[in-house]
């Protein structure tokens, strides 16, 4: 089960109307899976950019997640 460790957000511009959020894993997925499979508790960032419909950045967020091995 993924657990959020920390989140940071930066507001850049007021968004009026619909927005689009794009999230990217900050580490290679196989690296995270390998750590988990060896019994370690991996931490990985997810970077989120939020833009208006025309692509203007309005905010950015990073969430640090961890996974608990079974």
Three-state secondary structure call for residue 32: helix
Q: Is the pLDDT of residue 64 over 80?
A: yes
Alpha-carbon distances, residue 57 vs 23, 24, 36, 40, 69 (angstroms): 13, 15, 34, 36, 36
Tell me which residue range forms the domain holding 23.
2-67
What is the pTM (predicted TM-score) of this model? 0.84
Residue 38 and residue 25: Cα distance in Å, rounded?
A: 20
Q: What CATH number does the domain containing 42 carry?
A: 3.10.129.10
How far out from the chain centre does Cα 65 lie?
A: 8
- pLDDT confidence of residue 56: 95
- pLDDT confidence of residue 66: 97
Specify the number of domains making up the chain: 1
- pLDDT confidence of residue 69: 83
**pLDDT by residue (tens digit) across 16-53?**
999 999 999 999 999 999 999 999 999 999 999 999 99
Q: How open is the CA angle 55-65-7, to the nearest 5 degrees? A: 55
Q: Is the pLDDT of residue 70 over 80?
A: no
């Amino acid at each position: 089960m993924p657990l959020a460790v920390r989140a940071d957000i930066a507001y850049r511009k007021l968004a009026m109307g619909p927005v689009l959020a794009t999230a990217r894993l900050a580490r290679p997925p196989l690296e995270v899976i390998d750590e988990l499979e060896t019994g370690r508790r991996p931490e990985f960032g997810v970077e989120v950019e939020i833009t208006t419909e025309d692509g203007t950045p309005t905010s950015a967020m990073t969430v640090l997640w961890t996974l608990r091995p079974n």
